[in-house]
Amino acid sequence: MITRFAPSPTGDLHLGHALAAWIAFDLAKRNGGEMLLRFEDIDVTRVRSEFYDAIEEDLSWLGITWSGVPWRQLDRTDAYQAALEKLQTLGVLYPCFCTRKEIAMMTSAPQRDDGLEGVLYPGICRNLTESEKQQRIKRGDRWSWRLDAAKATQLCGPLSWHDHRFGESMLDPQMLGDVVIARKDIGVSYHLAVVVDDAAQNVTWVTRGEDLLSSTHVHVMLQKLLGVPQPRYWHHSLVCDEQGKRLAKRHDALSLRAMREGGVSPIEVIERITTFL
């Protein structure tokens, strides 16, 4: 068994991160496996160098250990590019020239039904002619690669996956619609990077919060398209504040660093987060 904890070095870890890390660590430990640490740092506009060490310090304080040297996604651009080229060869990607603001203003676009903010992309650029695409690229328009969910579904056929908490789920290709797979400024999206890295590290169990359950529909499809193994999943419950809202990096008072400096012990943290299981 191989699990992983993959935080983004964009701020201090909080109780929600602690729960995610503890589940991955404890699951591997109880089954004679190993947990890996991976930094999801592809969004360089938000990454801060000091948080790499800070994350490792917080985990060590909790008694959470990992195997090997932590991977950084910034070191993996060649692997992501190879995967992107394979998807392009399969014909399941198309360039999209719409900005987030433009998409948000499209009131006729169908609302997402996965509990997340925003709208499903209505496929405006999906049917552009090849000539129109090339003209806009040459003109220097900002663009990204989107996954054509309909074409991908035709290639993949019916798919499902097993979740430790939610059981067997059938893939719904329209859960997130035609998601962005790569952007000109960042190069790769979370969806593609996480699939490529999990396969490269032979991860057998993906443990993460239930807020990412909808993303699994995209990841399972990408795994099939890229010909990589499908891991088992465990989308655990989230740690929420007194108002029932999911913790985020803005909850500074509940960061592990603040709690540690305030005299809270690792045992107290673990006892608190495990009440959410």
The number of folded domains in the chain is 2
53 lies in the same domain as 105: no
The last residue of one of the domains, among 144, 162, 183, is: 183
Q: What is the CATH number of the domain that holds 171?
A: 3.90.800.10
Residue 94 counted as domain residue: yes
Residue 188 counted as domain residue: no
66 lies in the same domain as 117: no
- The sheet carrying 71-72 orders its strands as 2-5, 34-39, 71-72
Residue 194 counted as domain residue: no
Q: What's the rounded Cα separation, in Å, for the pair 239 and 70?
A: 25
Residue 113 counted as domain residue: yes
Spans of the chain below 70 pLDDT: 106-119, 242-244, 247-253
Residue 43 counted as domain residue: yes
115 lies in the same domain as 178: yes
pLDDT at 254: 78
**Is the pTM above the cut of 0.75?**
yes
How many other CB atoms sit within 10 Å of the CB of residue 30?
9
pLDDT at 248: 62
Domain enclosing residue 92, as ranges: 78-183
Residue 140 counted as domain residue: yes
270 lies in the same domain as 249: yes
